[in-house]
Chains A and B, each alone.
Chain A
Amino acid sequence: MSLAEKIRDALMYAVVELDEDVLGRIEWARAMEAKSASASQGSTASLAVLDAIIENLKIAKERRLPMCQDTGLFLVFVDVGKESTVALSALEAAIHEGCLAAVQEAHYRRSVVAEPVFARKNTTNNMPPAIYYSLVGGSDVTIQILLKGFGSENCSSVRMLNPTGGREAVIKAVGEIVSLAGGKPCPPIFIGVGLGGTMDRAAYLSKRALLRDVRIGHEDEQYRRLEEDILAHVQSLGIGSGGMGGTITALSVAIEAEPTHIAGMPLAVSINCWADRKARIVHKEGEDA
């Protein structure tokens, strides 16, 4: 199977079914909300939302239909091993070919316009994907693709925080961004937080954070605790599933951090809806590209 075919197949699956880690968090939210469902109208409504989501996933799987009509924008992260000999031009061609085939075969909605301000003419095939390339160790090429829906993307945001603000400033800023989003991004949500770098690097890191298996916390304990404390703060906001109240607003928080300047603490929050759809393809050295 060619790399383009592997990408196509992964994208045809991702638009219909969620990965096990994501499903597990939705089931967890339902169990939590069921405990308090009689306590408030908000929790009862939240439970109805979570039941609808679970029923929706069942129908999508049976009918091989996209779980959500917003099949997203292809946001592609390519990690190229420094010892890989695959040509970047061949990689890019395979990504384009795989994305295009999935759009046609899995009935993706045509959601991409060629230019943002004036005619906004639909490209009619969801091309082009947005691609980031990075160099990593080893000889593998890892391609990760987010199907980024825009109900949630419109609620994502960047803040340039004060360098002396510390973890409290981070928790407060994420809480404000999630509060402002309220019921708009299809909660319960997944939250990616990028910290450090520059304004654009923080935004990039916040998307990379969404790629992580949602069962796994940050490898550094301080950041892992910060993820937990942000999650607890977000739950206390009481937005709930569908934004109608309830105890669970977010399903996970993942942070990615990197070095930054003495004068700043860039923070970006990428919000993803419960339909946290992602594809992952590993290309081994020597395989067809």
Chain B
Amino acid sequence: MRKLTLPLSQADIAQLNAYDQVLLSGTLYVGRDQVHRLLYAMIEKQEPLPIDLNGATIYYMGPSPAPEGMVIGACGPTTSARMDPFSPTLLDRGLAVMIGKGPRSEAVSEAIVRNKALYLQAYGGCGALYAEAVKRVTPVAFAELGPEALIELEVEDFPAIVAIDSRGGSVFSRS
């Protein structure tokens, strides 16, 4: 189990291999379907983005409401494949790390290698487990999307497994 600080450096990314288990601390962005659709459209239209994608981490997630006394509710990963049509464009624009669950398309895998990026898998369905790792939540953009809004999280010891490494090594390669 390797402890790493977000945002990850190019050296951190280069050292990681598929199946490595990691614990992440630091800040990451959260965005899923609608955020991807909107960011992609902004890039296509050459509009300014609400976040700097360079070296950034995006976690595919939409939380349940925070009960009293907690900063967030259940907050496990959602299925990454739905982001596949948009991810290569975001990676080419500087996005370094994606966190979600499940396999990715060939085009995403190629974009990961081309940009020396990284795809991590979080434990699917483990919303309560991830709530323990979130220390702070900051709204960033698209608040009107409710549970799908773009937010920033400060996390501590957020567990994940390297699913596609920067050389294209993948835990999904058998299928």
Contacts and interface: CB of A to CB of B under 8 A. Distances in A.
Interface of A: 41-42, 44-45, 48-49, 52-53, 55-57, 59-60, 63-71, 107-111, 122, 124, 149, 151, 154, 179, 182-187, 237-239, 242-245, 273-275
A48 B161 contact: yes
Given A53-B125, A109-B73, A184-B103, A41 B67 contact: no
Contacts of A187: 124
Interface of B: 19, 21, 61-67, 70, 73-76, 78-79, 81-82, 101-103, 121, 123-129, 131-132, 146-147, 159, 161, 163, 171-172, 174-175
Given A69-B74, A108-B64, A154 B79 contact: yes
B63 A244 contact: no
B167 to A, nearest CB: 16
B127 A65 contact: yes
A145 B86 CA distance: 35
* Interchain residue pairs A-B with the least CB separation, the first 3: A186-B124, A60-B128, A56-B126
A107 B129 contact: no
A151 B124 contact: yes
28 contacts: A42-B174, A48-B123, A52-B129, A52-B159, A53-B126, A56-B126, A56-B129, A59-B132, A60-B127, A67-B125, A68-B126, A69-B61, A70-B127, A111-B62, A151-B124, A182-B103, A182-B172, A183-B101, A184-B101, A184-B102, A184-B103, A185-B79, A243-B172, A244-B19, A244-B121, A244-B161, A244-B163, A273-B125
B127 A66 contact: yes
B175 A109 contact: no
Contacts of A243: 101-103, 171-172, 175
A65 B73 contact: yes
